Amino acid sequence: MSSRPLAALPKAHLHLHFTGSMRLASVLDLAGARDVRLPDALTRDWPPRLSGADERGWFRFQRLYDSARGVVQGEAAMRRVVREAAADDHAEGSGWLELQVDPTSYAAAVGGITPALEIVLDEARAVSREAEHGAPFAAVGIIVAASRTRHPLEARTLARLAAMNAGDEAGEVLGFGLSNDERRGETAQFAGAFDIARRAGLMLVPHAGELLGPAAVETAIASLAPDRIGHGVRSVEDPRVLEIVAEDGIALEVCPHSNLSLGVYRDPSQVPLRRLVDAGVTVALGADDPLLFGTRLVDQYELARSAGFTDAELADLARGSVRASRAPARIRQRLLTGIDAWLAAEPA
């Protein structure tokens, strides 16, 4: 059995949410400083037992999320989230992180969505600069995500803000997403926001096909014309949709432990990694919300390994993550070269 260390495998991380990225210790620390009482699932019963199978399960997930978001108020806390996400990603072999944020959630404490996004971008620029000089951080680009549970006009406002900060470097807005409970909101109503983002040259990366099946993926493709899809795993339930995803070259940001935690699949062998890869779909593994799921990036690769992926196939997954990313050419090249070197080295 080969066993090259997965934390040493260079990779890009394309699906990680701002608050969901947080270290539990930092949540506790910030809560203490603000004298906020956290639910047991974020203290002595961590990680929480979740389910996304019904509205109640999702409501509980959202409530925990809200508790965590509640302690990330103010500039210093926001900067800390970006910095720690970049450090933790680096420790897992990620050289490029696309961090997803809905600035609405942090706006109140800093004077609006514009300063909220500015703070995140500024810290992303700072850690990325330090990373270029050898500091232990992944370089960080930002994806602005609107919430399906809010009015589509709010999504347009966010898309315009994202467009004003659009770029293809670390510390810039690279893409525009759509998150939160898939069962809420009507996907087609967000097409206007996605048009604004598209015209600004942003990557389009909505969530679809985790809590809902292949029809949701098909709708997202038809109405939003995405470059990548968050999750999308349930495409496999309809060969026709799977073929569209593969033919259109839409990469899927697959987060196996998120699927397991939310009860989409009961055990690791059900996560359809092999079927997606066999269908020719580019898969980029992501951690989604380590704070709530209790797993980070390397755990997703471990799951693939335990599902039978060889080191050569794991290297291919890592290559997929880099190719599906918006990483600048120099970072992309460095990561791809590193992946070759990882595979060329003798396993332990």
* Residue 311 found at the interface with Zn ion (CB under 5 A): no
Question: Closest distance between Zn ion and the C-beta of residue 207, in Å?
Answer: 6
Site track 13-42 with Zn ion (rule: CB under 5 A), x = hit: ------------------------------
- Indicate which residue of 210, 243, 247, 313 is catalytic: 210
* Residue 210 found at the interface with Zn ion (CB under 5 A): no
Answer whether 272's CB lies under 8 Å from 231's CB.
no
Tokens standing for residue 237: 């339930």
Question: Closest distance between Zn ion and the C-beta of residue 17, in Å?
Answer: 6
Measured distance CA(130)–CA(139) in Å, rounded: 9
Tell me the chain's radius of gyration from C-alpha atoms.
19
Q: Cβ of 25: how many Cβ atoms within 10 Å?
A: 9
Task: Using CB under 5 A, pick the residue from 89, 102, 181, 288 that binds Zn ion.
Answer: 288
Q: What is the dihedral of CA 150, 156, 159, 160, to 10 degrees?
A: -140
Pick between residue 102 and residue 288 the one whose CB is nearest to Zn ion: 288
Run of H or E residues at 343: helix 329-344
> Among 33-41, 170-178, 182-190, 285-293, which window interacts with Zn ion (CB under 5 A)?
285-293
> Among 53-61, 138-146, 268-276, 280-288, which window interacts with Zn ion (CB under 5 A)?
280-288
Measured distance CA(8)–CA(73) in Å, rounded: 34
Which is nearest to 15 in space by CA: 316, 192, 265, 257?
257
Question: Closest distance between Zn ion and the C-beta of residue 239, in Å?
Answer: 25
Pick between residue 145 and residue 315 the one whose CB is nearest to Zn ion: 145
Per-position b or e across 55-71, b if 16+ CB within 10 A of its CB = eebbebbeebbebbbbb
Annotate 90-120 with DSSP letters as a single string.
Answer: HHTTEEEEEEEE-GGGGHHHHTSHHHHHHHH
Which residue is it, tokens 């967000």? 190
Question: Closest distance between Zn ion and the C-beta of residue 259, in Å?
Answer: 11
| Residue with the CB atom nearest Zn ion in the bound state | 288
* Residue 182 found at the interface with Zn ion (CB under 5 A): no
* Residue 123 designated active-site: no
Question: Crossing angle for the helix pair 214-224 and 191-199, nearest 10 degrees?
Answer: 50
Which is nearest to 181 in space by CA: 63, 91, 335, 308?
63
Pick between residue 288 and residue 299 the one whose CB is nearest to Zn ion: 288
Pick between residue 181 and residue 288 the one whose CB is nearest to Zn ion: 288
* Residue 98 found at the interface with Zn ion (CB under 5 A): no
> Among 127-135, 198-206, 288-296, 326-334, which window interacts with Zn ion (CB under 5 A)?
288-296
Pick between residue 18 and residue 137 the one whose CB is nearest to Zn ion: 18
Pick between residue 61 and residue 342 the one whose CB is nearest to Zn ion: 61
Question: Closest distance between Zn ion and the C-beta of residue 38, in Å?
Answer: 22
Residues of the shown chain interacting with Zn ion in the complex, contacts defined by CB under 5 A? 288
Task: Name the residues annotated as catalytic.
Answer: 210
